Structure 1
Amino acid sequence: MNRLLACCGIVIVSLCWGSFVNAAEFWQSGWSTPQKAESSSLLVRPIEAADAERLFHSYMGSQRYLYSQLGWSWPSEKSSLEQNQSMVKLHLKQWQQQTAFTYLVIDRERDMVVGAVYFVPVPEQRGQSGTIQGSKFNAEITWWLTEPAVNASLHNDLFQLLVDWLRSSWPWQQVLFPVADNNRVTISLLESSSARFVGQNRDTQERFYSYTLARK
């Protein structure tokens, strides 16, 4: 999810707004959007309007943890159901316009929302910073999981499910994983995977990892 910005009195995800780099192809109208991915423990599926309240209580239950780990200035202690409703509506509009895709992560055993995954074009400022060449990437992918989900090691399950899904069902060849410097859980996952560290922005306190999905 990149940075969260305050606009029109609500907190919204910066990836939702225009100014994306003219990157490698993000989406073509003829492509089919993958509908879900699942493992024995997790289900990843598109966000729906009816999910708004469950989503809100999920991330607010781990507000301090997420705020300290993600580096997105989100979720705020002052986040409200109204702000959340606006955010969900924006995600749904993105789906309709095929400009970005938001999925929820469901703990199958408890049928509980425990996180979200965001697939978006690479923001223009990535290339402007000089840290990476944003035009080389088809998409930027970020995610969050609640603190109880991480404590239950579901981050390992999610990452494996995610990379397998990217290889099997998404049309891209190269994706970018940005992560905050202090998000040690995600950095550890990326460092132990085939992702390649490609740069660091000390101003925004982010690291960037490239992941190749090219098929043989």
Structure 2
Amino acid sequence: MVVRRLCIIFWTVFALALSENLGAAEFWQDDWSMGQRIESSRLEITALKADDASAIYRAYMDSQAWLYHQLGWSWPSSKTSEEQNASMVQHLLKQMKQKNGFSFVVTDKKRNKVVGMVYFAPVSAERGNGAALDTSNIQAEVTWWLGKKAVADNLHNDLFALTTDWLRAGWPWGQVLFPVSESNQSALAVLDNSAARKVAMNRDTHEVFYSYTLARK
């Protein structure tokens, strides 16, 4: 019962982070359309579907302890159930329908296996608490996770390149935020070696914030 309550609390907080923002009109407008998929030689990113739930569950539970430490999200719990996972997926699908956030599944084409997820969301109103972070020109925040083996295979580099190319070519935003835990070494390495700018830190939440400008050619 305690574990179930903790999971409910986590997904409630996650939902608020995806829905509370500093400028909802900037995040999404009615005449915009969301991207459905993009792929490279190794990876495919596709819009979340209900029948992805089992594959997503296996992907993160295979790396549960590693992800729990690395992400800093207090997730995934070792006691997360398939039922709780299915509820999470349904919640994310509801947000996509309401255009309050967009969730995507990452597949390793070589292994034909789901290895992670990418999320596009409004900038949380809480981001500025405890950090000197100016979000006035940032329309969305981007987060992701990849399983341990995928990171060992350097797919985090491929995923970042593919995601930013997609954001630049197929999404309406001019500037996005990457919030990353100080413990997420693979994501920090990617961002530090990219065009992203480190703009703030929150020592209370142990997060580092990077701004990324989506310059169009």
**Do the aligned residues in 2 keep the contact of 1:91 with 1:102 (CA within 8 Å)?**
yes
- Residue 139 of structure 1 pairs with residue 140 of structure 2: yes
Q: Aligned in 2, Cα 1:23/1:34: closer, same or farther, shift over 3 Å?
A: same
Which residue pairs with 1:207 in the alignment? 208
Whole-angstrom distance in 2 between the partners of 1:214 and 1:207? 22
Whole-angstrom distance in 1 between the partners of 2:13 and 2:71? 14
Which residue pairs with 1:28 in the alignment? 29
Would you identify which runs of 4 or more consecutive aligned residues in structure 1 move more than 3 Å? 5-11
Whole-angstrom distance in 2 between the partners of 1:26 and 1:19? 11
Report Cα offsets for 1:148-173 as digits up to 9, x if no partner.
10111111111111111111111100
Length-normalised TM-score, structure 2:
0.92
Gaps spanning 5+ residues in structure 2: where?
none
For this pair of structures, how many residues does the alignment match? 212
Q: Aligned in 2, Cα 1:6/1:175: closer, same or farther, shift over 3 Å?
A: farther
Report Cα offsets for 1:20-61 as digits up to 9, x if no partner.
223670011100111111000000001100011111011000
- Residue 59 of structure 1 pairs with residue 60 of structure 2: yes
RMSD over aligned Cα atoms:
1.8
Moved more, 206-215 or 16-25: 16-25
Which residue pairs with 2:75 in the alignment? 74
Moved more, 8-17 or 106-115: 8-17
Q: Aligned in 2, Cα 1:8/1:130: closer, same or farther, shift over 3 Å?
A: closer
Whole-angstrom distance in 1 between the partners of 2:193 and 2:169? 21
Alignment of 1:51-200 (within 5 A): 51-200=52-201
Q: Aligned in 2, Cα 1:120/1:170: closer, same or farther, shift over 3 Å?
A: same
Whole-angstrom distance in 1 between the partners of 2:26 and 2:6? 28
Q: Aligned in 2, Cα 1:52/1:195: closer, same or farther, shift over 3 Å?
A: same
Whole-angstrom distance in 2 between the partners of 1:74 and 1:6? 13
**Counterpart residue identity of residue 176, structure 1:** L
Report Cα offsets for 1:115-168 as digits up to 9, x if no partner.
000000001111243420222210000000000101111111111111111111
Gaps spanning 5+ residues in structure 1: where?
none
Q: Which has the larger helix fraction? A: 2
Moved more, 46-55 or 6-15: 6-15
**Counterpart residue identity of residue 13, structure 2:** S
**Counterpart residue identity of residue 57, structure 2:** F
Matched residue of 1:189: which SS?
helix
Length-normalised TM-score, structure 1:
0.92
Matched residue of 2:75: which SS?
coil
- Identity value in percent: 50
**Counterpart residue identity of residue 122, structure 2:** P
Q: Aligned in 2, Cα 1:130/1:181: closer, same or farther, shift over 3 Å?
A: closer
Report Cα offsets for 1:50-93 as digits up to 9, x if no partner.
01111101100000110010000000011111110110000100
**Counterpart residue identity of residue 203, structure 1:** D
Whole-angstrom distance in 2 between the partners of 1:10 and 1:129? 22
Matched residue of 2:167: which SS?
helix
Q: Aligned in 2, Cα 1:191/1:95: closer, same or farther, shift over 3 Å?
A: same
